[in-house]
Chains A and B, each alone.
Chain A
Amino acid sequence: NAGVTQTPKFQVLKTGQSMTLQCAQDMNHEYMSWYRQDPGMGLRLIHYSVGAGITDQGEVPNGYNVSRSTTEDFPLRLLSAAPSQTSVYFCASSMGVRDTQYFGPGTRLTVL
């Protein structure tokens, strides 16, 4: 049981490049979410999903896309990277909204 896995752990992009951050869970959780963590700002919700085929926006969705084709996977796409997207990104999953969220180890992204 691997829990929540994220790849890559580190990534450096140039402004305008695109990339996908991968997230997978093997706990059969319905709820998955993406957060970004910036100093002094805590974790801010980017997008979330309540099940395969269902996604919705969080607090800071601009510049990011998601899809959920399977229960296990919830990739986050940066369409055209900007320096303001330099951050640490965490993926999390849980059975439902009132349940414990399990977090991945994070991806540290730098956009030059």
Chain B
Amino acid sequence: AQSVTQLGSHVSVSEGALVLLRCNYSSSVPPYLFWYVQYPNQGLQLLLKYTTGATLVKGINGFEAEFKKSETSFHLTKPSAHMSDAAEYFCAVTASGTYKYIFGTGTRLKVLA
């Protein structure tokens, strides 16, 4: 079975500062990992995903994440926050052999001017 934990339900950063959103997963088989973003009153859209191959994954809007098997982590980063990054971010996990996506509880990012 898979599970995912997002540390910090709310994160505030200043505009131009580093964004770091944490995600740790649990999986008994090699996982597939995703980050999705949700803007107010909208559905979710994919930021980036890791399935196999390169462990550093680049996504849209300057975000990237690194799959670290030894730490069971898939943290999301962006070097410089922009006001438009304010949203809720969800980490999700699934794996080959299962069809169940498990989402984290989400991290709401606030960007301060």
Contacts and interface: CB of A to CB of B under 8 A. Distances in A.
Q: How large is the interface on A (under 10, 10 to 19, 20 to 34, 35 or more residues)?
A: 20 to 34
A31 B32 CA distance: 16
A63 to B, nearest CB: 19
Contacts of A101: 34, 36, 44, 46, 101
Interface stretch (A44-52, A70-78, A79-87): A44-52
Contacts, number: 62
Range class of the B interface residue count: 20 to 34
A97 B44 contact: no
Contacts of B49: 98, 100
B100 A40 contact: no
Contacts of A59: 100, 102
B81 to A, nearest CB: 22
B94 interface: yes
